[in-house]
Amino acid sequence: MSAPHVDRIRRANEEASRRGLDAVVVSPSPDLAYLTGYDPMPLERPTLLVLRPERDPALLVPELERPLAAASPMGKHLDLVPWLDGADPYEAVASLLDGAARVAVADRLWASHLMGLQRALPGASFSPASAVLGRLRSVKDASELEVLRRAARAADETFREILAMSFEGRSEEAVAHDLAELLVRHGHAKAEFTIVASGPHAASPHHEPGGRTILPRDAVVMDFGGELGGYFSDTTRTVVVVEAPEGFPQAYEAVQEAQAAAVDAVRPGVRAEEIDRVARAVIEAAGYGERFIHRTGHGIGLELHEPPYMVEGDGTVLEPRMTFSVEPGVYVEGRFGIRIEDIVAVSQDGVERLNRSTRDLQVVA
Ligand code: ZN
Ligand code: ZN
Ligand code: ZN
């Protein structure tokens, strides 16, 4: 049970030494869950995992949470260092970090805790641990990949079934509610988000579904996902109600083509930003370049959005078992929006689509 965690901590230490870091400090967050399987709530009382190459990992933990930490998957493999209310936890971390000059801290470490560490270790320099952990977490192991596949399949089933439900005359909220229910019915522990953006609302990519009544000739963007076994699904499909609005089919074709071209470009050795360029080139050539107002994709795993990012400037070289979204879109203010999103995994020599529901334009009633 603890085997993947032992190995992850070893690899985190190796990566830290390669980068000339003396220590990595991790607070409750997906980073801590990834490394130890321990996933408590982040609180004002600091819980901090201290990794130092060549030393045993230590977990500073509030005394009252020690039993929880001890019972967690890595409890037996960590030196638990309890601290009592009234003591200075940052001084305790400082002694664990004795002699460390370059310290990486989890991106989600609260500023108040970082300032405590800075006070206790005035000589140390601090940097974000995403440089170490983001890279490790971006390459999934076989069991992580299997959970992501299951989550994607559950999201695909959700889309298949929503197509049979009625849209015309119902509110965005009502359709969003159905999506959330279907996500859970198909195996998600919970629905995380259900964007339903109809008609002119669809021009806002992160629209919050509301009371608007869905009408014939609306395009409806549905972007939805949930959590399953600690990992996320995230897929988007755009459908039209009864018939497509004017100007829509050409734009839909451009987005569908851009998405297909970008997915086809995924293989080991290609840079993340190149996937964005491929999608953007197709949409620009079709004349909608200015209406593609966001990056092409984001990594996905224990977090809905995590490295790498398919965006100009992200030079991450794709490796087998990296997982991310490919989701180009076109947004025409006041009229309609279109987005098509699938999660993909980099395979040994190309790409595996985790989402497989149809991307051909679907007409709903
Ligand atoms: Zn989004
Ligand atoms: Zn999405
Ligand atoms: Zn997404």
For 289-331, how does the pLDDT look when each residue is reduced to its tens digit (9 = 90+)?
999 999 999 999 999 999 999 999 999 999 999 999 999 999 9
For 220-237, how does the pLDDT look when each residue is reduced to its tens digit (9 = 90+)?
999 999 999 999 999 999
Tell me if the bond preceding 82 is cis, omega within 30° of 0. Answer: no
CATH for 3-137 is 3.40.350.10
User: What is the rounded average pLDDT of the residues 83-107?
Assistant: 96
pLDDT above 70: residue 196: yes
Å from CA of 36 to ligand 1 middle:
29
Query: Residues of the chain with pLDDT > 90: what percent?
Result: 98
Q: Measure the CA–CA gap between 294 and 113, rounded to whole angstroms.
A: 33
User: What is the rounded average pLDDT of the residues 272-278?
Assistant: 98
Query: Residues of the chain with pLDDT > 70: what percent?
Result: 99
Å from CA of 131 to ligand 3 middle:
22
pLDDT above 90: residue 136: yes
- Judged by DSSP in three states, 175 sits in helix
Return the closest-CA partner of residue 308 out of 292, 297, 294: 297
CATH number for 139-364 (one of 3.40.190.10, 3.90.230.10, 3.40.50.620, 3.40.50.800): it is 3.90.230.10
Q: 3 or 206: whose pLDDT is higher? A: 206
Contacts of 332 (CB under 8 A, 6+ apart): 203, 247, 251, 291
Give the model's confidence band at 2: pLDDT under 50 very low, under 70 low, under 90 confident, else very high: low
Å from CA of 278 to ligand 1 middle:
19
**For residue 150, what pLDDT is reported?**
98
Å from CA of 239 to ligand 2 middle:
15
Give the model's confidence band at 339: pLDDT under 50 very low, under 70 low, under 90 confident, else very high: very high
pLDDT above 60: residue 1: no
pLDDT above 70: residue 126: yes
Which sequence spans correspond to the domains of the chain?
A: 3-137, 139-364
Give the model's confidence band at 3: pLDDT under 50 very low, under 70 low, under 90 confident, else very high: confident
pLDDT above 80: residue 103: yes
Closest ligand to the CA of 297: 3
Å from CA of 165 to ligand 2 middle:
21
Per-residue DSSP letter, 322: B
Q: Measure the CA–CA gap between 187 and 177, rounded to whole angstroms.
A: 16
- Judged by DSSP in three states, 226 sits in strand
* Helices and strands: H and E segment counts in the chain: 10, 18
pTM of the full predicted structure?
A: 0.94
- In this structure, the number of other CB atoms found within 10 A of the CB of residue 289 comes to 14
